[in-house]
């Protein structure tokens, strides 16, 4: 188990990380979510001992990770945000080079390099150079490199930045396979939908501080609205949308109402309020061109915590 306690780091006057604490259980995937500049990269760099913390501790199975070589560090693998590959060296040779740095040799090194290449779905490109790869394929090769020493915990810093949708799915397949093997993952991102897809637990950080640390289901429960109803008025000439919006806002169970032209987004405290709202619209004679219902997006949790969206 990884335990991060009170980590802090300042760059000059700027407090990049300010007392961050969280835990990662064995086999758990933790999504570290926050907007650009929230302190995610600084946090994971401190966890791996790449940069020195001003304060706080990081332990893995009770052993301090610290700086320099340590037994605990051997159990960690980091996929950094910036790609670290030799562009003109075939993929398999890149892996052999990184494996040698981890102390792997001979037949073990060769076997391990082939295994991790297969795991990221690049076996058929073993002899090709990264310079001929797409951004997503390079990223997958980087993931393979971080897995060579068979770490118990893999940390990925925004692994889908600059990646095409197809490769993005391939990355998710790889990460799901790693999860199925019982490995722990820390996944940093500013995309809630990515974190939600993978994570058993979500840690939200902003301005270097932890704002929430909970399972996705618990975060859903904390949302002020639980369901969303979207309607499109067929006839705004009869009554302007603003007037309808103002009346809707006063109905029972309605948490918030927004509109753009004839399209009205209604946030509800619970799904049971959807039918009465539709009935009210009907009784008031507002014909609908279209309507749809949806679960509230977990993305809104950041909005409700900070008053801003994740990607303002
Ligand atoms: N080497 C550095 N020197 C000075 N300031 C830094 C340095 N590294 C990070 N910072 C600052 O610390 C804060 C946190 O940065 P960090 O890279 O950890 O955030 P992040 O959440 O990973 O964001 P991003 O997704 O943009 O990488 C930012 O304000 C950033 O400008």
pLDDT tens for each residue of 235-265: 878 788 889 999 999 999 998 898 998 999 9
| Model pLDDT for residues 73-124, shown as the tens digit of each residue | 889 999 998 878 999 999 999 999 999 988 899 999 999 999 999 999 999 9
Rg of the chain on CA atoms, in Å: 24
Our mutation pick for probing the ligand 1 site, out of 41, 162, 207, counting the most ligand atoms within 8 A of Cβ, is: 41
Instruction: Examine the pLDDT at 189 and tell me if it is beyond 90.
Output: yes
Mutate which of 10, 13, 16, 211 for ligand 1 pocket (most atoms within 8 A of beta carbon): 16
What separation in Å is there between the alpha carbon of 11 and the centre of ligand 1?
9
Residues 6+ apart with CB under 8 A from 142: 79, 80, 83, 84, 85
Helical packing angle, 135-147 and 165-180, nearest 10°: 20
* Maximum distance among all Cα pairs of the chain, rounded to whole angstroms: 80
| Cα-to-centroid distance, 37 and ligand 1 (Å) | 5
Of 66, 73, 307, nearest in space to 207 by CA: 307
Mean per-residue pLDDT, 217-224: 88
The ipTM value here is 0.95
pLDDT tens-place string over residues 43-77: 999 999 999 999 999 999 999 987 777 788 889 99
Order the strands of the 254-260 sheet from edge to edge. 254-260, 263-268, 227-233, 288-295
Give this prediction's pTM.
0.85
Q: What is the Cα 169 distance to its own chain's centre?
A: 14
| Best residue among 9, 17, 35, 42 to mutate for probing ligand 1, ranked by most atoms within 8 Å of CB | 42
Ligand 1 binding pocket (C-beta < 6 A) is 11, 14, 16, 34, 36-42, 158
Ligand 1 centroid to Cα of residue 205, in Å, is 13
Cβ pair 302, 238 in contact under 8 A: no
The SS3 assignment for 176 reads helix
Burial class from Cβ neighbours inside 10 Å (0-12, 13-18, 19+) for residue 86 reads: middle
If you take atom 7 of ligand 1, which residue's CA is the nearest one?
A: 11
Q: State the distance from the centre of ligand 1 to the C-alpha of 158, rounded, in angstroms.
A: 13
Nearest atom in ligand 1 to the alpha carbon of residue 42 is 18
Q: Whose CA is nearest to atom 25 of ligand 1?
A: 36
Q: State in Å: Cα 206 to ligand 1 middle.
A: 11
Dist. CA 16 → ligand 1 center (Å): 6
Give nearest CA residue, ligand 1 atom 3: 11
Atom index in ligand 1 nearest the CA of residue 35 equals 21
Atom nearest to 12 CA in ligand 1: 4
9 CA: nearest ligand 1 atom: 12
Tens of pLDDT, residues 158-181: 999 888 888 889 899 999 999 999
Domains (range + CATH), the chain: 2-221 (3.40.50.300), 224-295 (3.30.70.920)
Residue closest by Cα to atom 29 of ligand 1 = 37
3-state secondary structure of 94: helix
């Amino acid at each position: 188990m990884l335990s991060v306690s009170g980590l802090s780091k300042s760059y000059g006057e700027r407090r990049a990380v300010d007392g961050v604490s969280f835990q990662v259980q064995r086999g758990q995937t933790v999504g570290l979510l926050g907007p650009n500049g929230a302190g995610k990269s600084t946090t994971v760099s401190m966890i791996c001992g790449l940069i020195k913390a001003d304060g706080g501790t990081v332990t893995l199975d009770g052993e301090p990770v610290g700086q320099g070589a340590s037994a605990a560090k051997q159990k960690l693998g980091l996929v950094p945000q910036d790609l670290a590959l030799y562009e003109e060296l075939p993929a398999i040779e890149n892996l052999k080079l990184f494996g040698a740095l981890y102390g792997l040799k001979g037949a073990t090194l060769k076997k391990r390099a082939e295994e991790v290449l297969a795991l990221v779905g690049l076996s058929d490109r073993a002899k090709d150079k990264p310079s001929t790869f797409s951004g997503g394929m390079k990223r997958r090769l980087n993931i393979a490199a971080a897995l060579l020493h068979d770490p118990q915990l893999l940390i990925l810093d925004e692994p889908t930045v600059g990646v095409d949708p197809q490769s993005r799915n391939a990355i998710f397949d790889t990460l799901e396979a790693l999860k199925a093997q019982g490995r722990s993952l820390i996944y940093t991102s500013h995309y809630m939908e990515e974190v939600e897809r993978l994570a058993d637990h979500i840690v939200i950080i902003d301005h270097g501080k932890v704002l929430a640390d909970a399972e996705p289901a618990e975060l859903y429960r904390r949302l002020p609205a639980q369901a969303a109803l979207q309607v499109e008025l067929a006839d705004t000439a009869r009554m302007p949308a603003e007037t309808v919006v103002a009346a809707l806002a006063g109905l029972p169970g309605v948490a918030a109402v927004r509109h753009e032209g004839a399209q009205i987004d209604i946030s509800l405290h619970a799904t049971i309020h959807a039918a009465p709202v539709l009935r009210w619209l009907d009784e008031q004679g507002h014909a609908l061109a279209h309507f749809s219902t949806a679960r509230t997006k977990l993305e809104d949790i950041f909005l409700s915590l900070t008053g801003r969206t994740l990607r303002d």
